[in-house]
Amino acid sequence: MCLRLRATKRHGPYYELTYKASGKTVNVKLSTQAAPPYKAPAQQYRKLKTLLNRLDKLSKTILSQQAKTGRIQAARLSKRAGYSNNPGLSAGRRPAEWR
């Protein structure tokens, strides 16, 4: 017999839906029958979160390398001087609604 079954605690699996509402965490326990429709979206969310974390790490690595080579500093100086990569949208020629 499983040691956990002999204990007073319940034995899983547990299905819970957790979300934020009005700045507070809400935790809803789902029955075994109610859980399957949430399985695929939960897996997709975890995959998306993993990909976004990888993108964030890659972006930070690129920025770090650019900072080391001085590219970021050069880009900042050129913007301060009024230069732009797109001459049609330089400071003096922006559409009126952008000003």
Q: Which residues constitute the domain of residue 72?
A: 33-82
> Is residue 91 in some structural domain?
no
- Domain-located, residue 43: yes
Q: Is residue 68 part of a domain?
A: yes
Number of domains observed in the structure of the chain:
1
- Condensed to tens digits (0 to 9), the pLDDT of residues 14-62 reads 888 888 999 999 999 999 889 899 889 989 999 999 999 999 999 999 9
DSSP assignment of 9-57: S--S--EEEEEEETTEEEEEEE-TTTSHHHHHHHHHHHHHHHHHHHHHH
Closest CA to 14 of 39, 31, 36: 31
What confidence category does residue 68 fall into, taking pLDDT thresholds of 50, 70 and 90? confident
Which pTM does this prediction carry?
Answer: 0.50
**Residues in Cβ contact with 93 at an 8 Å cutoff, skipping those fewer than 6 apart:** 87
Instruction: Return the axis-axis angle of helices 36-69 and 71-80, rounded to nearest 10°.
Output: 80
